Structure 1
Amino acid sequence: MSSVHDEHATSQNSSYQRDIRYIFKLNSWILGSLGIWPIAIRGIGQHASKIVIVIFNLALSFAIVPCALHIIYDEKDITMRLKLCGLLAFCLTAMTKYCILAIRRPKILRCIEYVKSDWWQVTFRTDRELMLKYATTGRNLTIIGVSFMYIAGIIYHMILPFCSEHKINNQTIRPLVYPVYSKFYQSQISPIYELVYVAHCMCGYTIYSVTAGACGLAALFTTHACGQIQMIIAQLENLLDGDKFEQTLNVQQRIAAIVKGHVRVIRFAAVIEEVLQEVCLVEFASSVCTICLLEYYCIVDWQADDRIGLTTYFMLFVSFCFNIYILCYIGELLMEKSSQIGSICYMINWYELSPKSARSFILILAMSGHPIKITAGRMADLSLTTFGNVLKTSLAYLSFLRTLVM
């Protein structure tokens, strides 16, 4: 992989630079703004990402601590407490994922190097088109998830707080995105109010960027792995013809190239698992409660005829469901593609090969019998079945919550 950074080397893919910018641009913008995306900066700039991470974590703490104090000491209404507890849990979840991604930056860099190396070595135009197809799928999933998340976040932070009058003891107060403990009365005085509001907006940006960025990172790496598996499948289908190989290679060398590519994908998937398993575990553990609470908020605002609140919470609900769906969909896609290799090994004209060459498929068949999986903390596989279980569990909790509160 060191050849990727060799300035004197020539890439086999003439469109290498353009392709890399295309697949990395969106994720580098989102995670780079949070100091998570690994970049090569020398001098004092190499500490910039650490400074950014500290600043955004302080912004999260600036919203979490006063909100927690407000829930404990000030708020008495059970419905408002539920709304604020959901908000607080969301903030804490985002902070946890942020810290995990910050710790996993070396592993993220390793995955990026894997992706760059694969694009660097593309030889055939059909292989590049195949890789671009899967890269576009991951990019489109990221764009949709980011759009839902940011639109809902903008409404929640910049429109919803100003749509209703806020009074305490018949005195109108200026609204804030996150509630503040009553003892901090200075938060209503300019310019402290403006500073607090900006800090709350920074907190919101951090929350939505971490959530969308984690799903985007999973989509980027997993769809790339699927593209590499599809290339292996194409090589297996053309093993005897040799169209997908250098003309100088014999059958045994072609099989060796296929096995080498398969092993590389498996190793890449293992690194992806290391990067994402804790983030996915936190995401799934929190999503059941968050989706349940958002469903409850939608019901309450529907009954209260609060259209803006209903729209905001419904968009948040859709964005959360879609983020979980992205993780489960790409996990399902990776399992399906990796198990497909075994089927293709059997479907090709392997009987036309020499017995010695045919025996080489035994290990490939054995490995494809254990498809590559992405898990949530090694406790649950990311699959569409898991997505269905998350929705069913959230509805069960919603039924319990309605019985308890209403």
Structure 2
Amino acid sequence: MTDKLVAAKKKYGNLGEYSIQLSRWYLKPMGVWPDPVTTRREKILAQISIVVCWCIILFTVIPAFLHVVLVNEDIYLKLKTLGPLSHWCVDGFNYLVLLIRQDDISYCVERIRSDWKMITRTQDQEEMWKSAKLGRSIAGFCAGFMQGTIFCTCFVLGAFKRTVEVGNKTVDIYTLPCPAYKFPVQTNPTHDVILGTQFLSALVVSSSAAGSFTLATIFASHALGQLNIMVMWVNEFTKRSGEKGKKAQTNEIGIIVEHHLRVLR
């Protein structure tokens, strides 16, 4: 484990970066990642990213919503449309929450970085490394699964034609993951352009969901690592409590309690 810690330090420079790297990959392109050391250029690019992401999301949501409300279809087709549309709306709201809570995310990220700097004993860092590795693995698997299922769904719903019967004729029509109101989707390149835009929109909303999940997983696994360190410290304190004087014991208890309060905050 020590060799792995050394290798990770060489690769990432700071083990705290190993913990948060996956979330940064998802959230920074969307302008959500709260990096305190940013230049004016990076701040402008982040704002542009936010505007572009919202435009892409709304380009899918608004026409689909208008289609559900204004087009005269049977209830089955409307319910079929509400499935993908609700996914876009929920994850779009999730993206909004991430933007609103950037300060809270920044606080938690800085706590992770400071904990890695504060904990210097090798066996404590090994315990943190185990938790960080577990959280990163779970977050990576689930985020990849979420992205994969969304893209497979969009591909199946949009890349193939659907055969319908119109009177005595059989007609092949183009389909989309979300219907686009008033757009001539039965002609190319209009269909391909809208389909590509909806793929990008799916990437944005699924990335916001995956980013939220990775944040929650990484924060929870980091807290788990800190609590495991607390258990180690308490066990070590009880084993050697009779070997030191009362003043030294009081100091150790104070350190343990202070760190415990830090974890709870």
TM-score by length of 1: 0.57
1:160 aligns with 2:169: no
Q: Aligned residue for 1:226?
A: 224
For 1:31, which of 10, 27, 33 is the aligned residue? Answer: 27
In structure 2, the residue matched to 1:121 is 118
Partner amino acid, structure 2, of 1:235: W
Q: In 2 relative to 1, CA 67–141 (structure 1 residues): closer, same or farther, beyond 3 Å?
A: same
Residue 141 of structure 1: CA displacement? 1.4
- CA separation of 1:120 and 1:220: change in aligned 2, threshold 3 A: same
Alignment equivalent of 2:89, drawn from 85, 92, 97: 92
Equivalent residues in 2 for 1:6-405 (5 A)?
15=9, 17-39=13-35, 40-74=37-71, 76-165=73-162, 172-181=172-181, 183-185=182-184, 187-241=185-239, 250-267=248-265
Match of 1:334 in 2: none
In 2, the alpha carbon distance for the partners of 1:198 and 1:216 equals 26
1:44–1:109 CA distance, 2 compared to 1 (3 A): same
Q: Deviations over 1:282-323 (max 9, x none)?
A: xxxxxxxxxxxxxxxxxxxxxxxxxxxxxxxxxxxxxxxxxx
Percent of aligned positions that are identical: 27
Q: Distance in 1 between matches of 2:195 and 2:162?
A: 17
Aligned-pair CA distance for 1:145: 0.9
- C-alpha contact (below 8 Å) 1:75/1:81 kept by paired residues: no
Letter in 2 for 1:86: G
The 1:168/1:23 distance shift into structure 2, 3 A limit, reads farther
**For structure 1, which segment, 193-202 or 230-239, has the greater mean C-alpha deviation from structure 2 after superposition?**
193-202
How many matched pairs?
Answer: 247
Aligned partner letter, 2:58: S
Quick one: distance in 2 between partners of 1:165 and 1:194?
15
CA distance in 2, matches of 1:125, 1:75: 67
Deviation at 1:174, TM superposition (A): 3.1
Shift of 1:164: 4.1
CA distance in 1, matches of 2:138, 2:81: 30
Distance 2:165 2:29 in 1: 38
Which 5+ residue runs of structure 1 have no aligned equivalent? 1-13, 244-248, 268-406
Equivalent pair of 1:66/1:180 in contact (CA under 8 Å): yes
Q: After TM superposition, give the deviation of residue 60 of structure 1 in Å.
A: 1.2
d(CA) in 1 for partners of 2:157, 2:176: 10
Distance across 1 between alignment mates of 2:164 and 2:256:
69
Q: Which has the higher contact order (CA 8 A, sep 6+)?
A: 2
Structure 2: segments with no counterpart, 5+ residues: 1-7, 242-246
Q: Deviations over 1:92-117 (max 9, x none)?
A: 11111101101111111111110000
Shift of 1:216: 0.8
Which residue identity does 1:38 align to in structure 2? P
Q: What letter matches 1:175 in structure 2? A: T
- The answer (yes or no) to whether the contact 2:158–2:174 under 8 Å persists in 1 is no
User: 1:212, CA displacement in angstroms?
Assistant: 1.5
1:238 is paired with a residue of what secondary structure? helix
**1:125 to 1:88, Cα distance in 2 relative to 1, 3 A:** same
Contact 2:61 2:85 in 1 (8 A): yes
Question: Could you tell me how far apart the structure 2 residues matched to 1:223 and 1:135 are?
Answer: 6
Amino acid at match of 2:46: S
Partner of 1:239, secondary structure, is helix
Report the CA distance between 1:168 and its aligned residue: 8.7
For 2:180 and 2:51, locate their aligned partners in 1 and report how far apart those are by CA, in whole Å: 22
The 2-side partners of 1:25 and 1:227 are apart by: 17
Q: Which residue of 2 aligns with 1:313?
A: none
